[in-house]
Chains A and B, each alone.
Chain A
Amino acid sequence: MTNLKMVSTSAFFLLTSTVQPVVFATVAFYMYRTGDRAGTLLYAALGAGMMGVWSTTLFGSGGMIQWQRWQGTLELGVGSPPGMALIYLPFSLANAFTGMYALAATLVWGRLVFGVPLDFVHPWLFALALPATVISLGLMGLVLASTFILYRYANAMANLLEYPVWIASGLVFSTSLLPGWTRPISWILPPYWGVLALRHAALGGGVWVPLAMVVVLGIGSVAIATFTFRIFEHLARDRATLSLT
């Protein structure tokens, strides 16, 4: 909760979670309008919102480790009795929930400025899919955070990973435009299934299969993060790189 309050008042996080998604949503709206896809503006709004959720999770995951490293508090976390995955789980979830601003911002912006109709086919399933997707992304952020314990240039890696996940998850365009070899990458990404679940709940289509995949990948992320935190923390201590900036 403290982390949620902290990131909610950070100008950078507000930029990432509200301004950036609105700008990207506006670009996507105009691009769809210029083409012959004006009828799919809700598709663009949902995708741009999910882009914001991912950006917030990504920069939050990298940022929380890097910030603690800069402040000299990372060692205190490592030295405390609970496992690191447990310590950083609430941080990751708080970051992801801040990302929900993004989805709210793009939907409200789309409705007010572009007249995007917010008539969801399955509103209750949408209400179920949204927190499930956000939590799953937060858990994926936990896996990323564990790698940032070992990798000192977490911010650079965060910069690199923003667009590839937007692309591979098909957030604002279909993954069928991508080469076939990228398909398995899409399948292991929670945002891919999350945006499918949200899109089907809003526009029509099967929600339960993508929703189940979101849950499965979320649980898988926790399992992987528990393991990788232990390994990477040990390696960082062994190499004496934990606090190196």
Chain B
Amino acid sequence: MRRWLSTFFIGGLIAYRGLFNWIRPAMYIPTMLGSPLFQLIFFTKLGQFAHAESRDFYIVGNSVQVCAMSSVYGMTMAVANERWFGTLGPLLASPANRAAVFLGRGVPVLANGLLVSAFTFGAGVLLLGFRPGAGSIPALAVIVLATVTSCTCFGMLLGSIGLRAKDFFFAANLAYFLMLLFCGVNVPLASLPGWMSAVGRCLPLTHGIAAAREVAAGRSLGSVAGLVWTELGVAVAYAVAAYLLFRILERESRRTAVLDAY
């Protein structure tokens, strides 16, 4: 168990430092803080122009959704970049527990997602007049944590595909944009066609954003527990699917000798 935890935490941290060694403040600030900030302003102003929903609807939706930038892209890269950097072979040759290797990579990504989301909520307060009650902040933090977890698990699934797919960034980009449309970030699910809202309910973010909006409007965490548990259920489903896919693709890559091939 001690070895499992060591691989999970220390291995995850070292892998993050190794795979994301190119991150500098000059890279991180424009991409992970600047872009979410302007996304928030863009959709809030668009909503104001369209007279669609209240300002808080867009602030909460986008502040939660931006965690997907870290979770989806970060987690995809945390798995698939091993192949890009040519380190996948040595990693898979090690006897380390695969679940610990795989899930441990999600911890730094998850922490980063929380930071990005918190920053965007803060920008909403400072620049756009978002005023959640002080009592709602711990509940919002719990909901964002659950949502970042489910997005990270979704990113794991995309990362697993990157073990074999050539252009895994295309899939990550596509997923990120479609989440903007399907997950009720800027358009209420009720306004979407039935099939789109059904797809949205199977994706991460959707239930978390709905819960965050309720809490920001003054409801208690207990009253949205169903939505939060559903979000966590989505997380577990994606984590299991990602792990299984990882193992299948790992075995197939070994069998067909295409582990590091493009």
Contact = CB atoms under 8 A, between A and B. Distances in A.
Given A23-B178, A30-B191, A34-B188, A177 B49 contact: yes
Contact of B50 (A26, A37, A159): A37
Interface stretch (A11-19, A76-84, A192-200, A231-239): A11-19
Given A31-B46, A31-B187, A19 B174 contact: yes
Interface in A156-193: 156-157, 159-160, 162-164, 166-167, 172-174, 177-178
A244 interface: no
Interface centre among B48, B52, B188, B192 (most CB of A within 10 A): B52
Contacts of A34: 50, 52-53, 187-188, 191
Interface size class of B (residues with CB under 8 A): 35 or more
Contact of A156 (B31, B53, B170): B31
Interface SS, A side: helix
A178 B45 contact: yes
A23 B45 contact: no
27 contacts: A12-B167, A12-B169, A15-B174, A19-B174, A19-B177, A20-B177, A23-B177, A24-B177, A27-B181, A30-B191, A31-B50, A31-B187, A32-B50, A35-B47, A35-B52, A37-B49, A153-B24, A155-B27, A155-B31, A159-B35, A160-B34, A162-B38, A167-B45, A172-B49, A173-B46, A174-B49, A177-B49
Nearest to B40: A163
Interface in A105-164: 152-153, 155-157, 159-160, 162-164
B218 to A, nearest CB: 23
Interface string B232-262: 0000000000000000000000000000000
A156 B27 contact: yes
Interface centre among B27, B47, B50, B181 (most CB of A within 10 A): B50
B39 interface: yes
A45 interface: no
B20 to A, nearest CB: 13
A230 interface: no
Contact of B51 (A19, A35, A156, A167): A35
A149 B49 CA distance: 38
B26 interface: yes
Interface SS, B side: helix
Contacts of A155: 27, 31
Nearest to A16: B173
A128 to B, nearest CB: 28
B46 A23 contact: no
Contacts of B174: 15, 19
B27 A153 contact: yes
Nearest to A177: B45
A26 B181 contact: yes
Contact of B35 (A28, A37, A162): A162
Given A12-B173, A27-B181, A153-B30, A160 B35 contact: yes
Interface in B29-62: 30-31, 34-35, 38-39, 41-42, 45-53
